[in-house]
Amino acid sequence: MMCVRARPLFSSPLSLAFSPTKHSPPNHLRLPLSSSSSSRRSLSAAAMSSSSTPQIIEHIVLFKVKPETDSSKIASMMNGLNGLVSLSQVIHISAAPLHRVRSSPSAFTHVLHSRYGSKEDLNAYAAHPYHVRVVKESVLPICDDVMAVDWVADRVPGTLAPPPGSAAKLTFLRLKENLAGDAKSEIVDVIKGLSEKLPGIDQITVGENFSPARAKGFSIASIAFFKDLGELETVDVQTELVNVEKEKVREYVDSTIVVEFVVPSGLVSGL
C-alpha cells in the first residue's frame, strides 16, 4: 500500500500513551464500547460462518521509524493505528514498539498486528478513508521502511484478541529458490507442532503469505503468543529443543526475520 489512494500501505507490520490525537476516529465511526463490541462479535461470527471452514486473516506490518523522529510523532502514529479498531472490519488490532529484534535484514522499530474474518474485510479496512488518512499523515512521513505480510491462519485461535501484556514472537521465512513442492508444507507442519512441544505458547498460527508485493520475498509467516515476557523467555531458554526444530527446516531457508513485541495496554478490543 505504498500508494495512498487505491493501494494503501497496509493492504493485500516504550510505553506510549494512547490519548486522543487529530487522528482519532471521526464521530460517525465512534460507537459506545458495548455497541462496538457487540457489532464486531456479530460481524466476525457471520464472517467465520460464511463458509464451511471458519478462518482468520492475520495481517502484520513492520515499520522502520526514522531515527531522528520526535517521540510525539511516533506516539501519534501509534495512537492513529490503534484507533483503527473502530473500523467494523477489524476483529483485533495492536500497534506497538518492538521489544526485541532477534533477526532481521532491516532495523525495524514498530509493528502492527491485526485480525479479520476474511480477505474481503482486510481489503475493505485497507481502503477505508480513515485508514488511508492515518497512513498518509502519520506513518509515511516518519518511516524509512515498511513491509507487510498477510496469511490465512491455519487455525482459529481460541482468543482472537490477545490481552494486554501478552508477548508475541513473529517469524518470517524467505525460502531458497527452486524448492520441491512439498517443502512449504513441511515447514508449516514443523511450526504448527511447536505448540505441543513448547507448552508456554498460548496460541500460534502459521501460513503462506498471500500479499507478495510488500513482503520483500518472505513467503511463510507465524505469530506465537505467550502470557507475558517471562513465559516467552522460558521458552527461549529451551535452546536444545528449539534448535532441533530449526534443524528440520534449515536447508530450505534463505533468510529470517524474528521480532518480539508486547500487546500494549489501553486498547479497545474488537471482541
pLDDT in tens, 15-40: 223 233 333 334 333 333 333 444 44
- Going by pLDDT thresholds of 50, 70 and 90, the confidence category of residue 53 is low
Gyration radius of the chain's alpha carbons: 18
Assess if residue 35 is contained within a domain.
no
Assess if residue 40 is contained within a domain.
no
C-beta of residue 11 within 8 angstroms of C-beta of residue 211: yes
What is the CATH number for 192?
A: 3.30.70.100
SS3 262: strand
- Going by pLDDT thresholds of 50, 70 and 90, the confidence category of residue 149 is very high
C-beta of residue 82 within 8 angstroms of C-beta of residue 267: yes
Residues 6 or more apart whose CB falls under 8 angstroms from that of 100 comprise 259, 260
Assess if residue 10 is contained within a domain.
no
Question: What is the span of the domain harbouring residue 138?
Answer: 57-263
pLDDT (0 to 100) of residue 88? 96
Counted domains in the chain: 1
Residues 6 or more apart whose CB falls under 8 angstroms from that of 38 comprise none
In sequence order, the β-bridge partners of residue 111 are 62, 96
- Going by pLDDT thresholds of 50, 70 and 90, the confidence category of residue 216 is very high
Alpha-carbon distance of 173 to 155, in angstroms, equals: 19
In terms of pLDDT, which residue wins out, 11 or 197?
Answer: 197
Look at 67-81, 137-151, 170-184, 228-242 and tell me which has the smallest mean pLDDT: 228-242
Assess if residue 77 is contained within a domain.
yes
Cell numbers at 188, concatenated: 508449516
Provide mean pLDDT across the span 150-164.
93
In sequence order, the β-bridge partners of residue 115 are 58, 92
Mean pLDDT rounded to a whole number for the chain: 82
What global pTM score does this model have?
A: 0.80
Provide mean pLDDT across the span 121-141.
97
Is the per-residue pLDDT at 145 higher than 50? Answer: yes
Assess if residue 182 is contained within a domain.
yes
C-beta of residue 162 within 8 angstroms of C-beta of residue 269: no
Is the per-residue pLDDT at 168 higher than 80? Answer: yes
Assess if residue 18 is contained within a domain.
no
Alpha-carbon distance of 265 to 225, in angstroms, equals: 16
pLDDT (0 to 100) of residue 28? 34
Assess if residue 212 is contained within a domain.
yes
Q: Cell 526485541, residue?
A: 100
Assess if residue 157 is contained within a domain.
yes
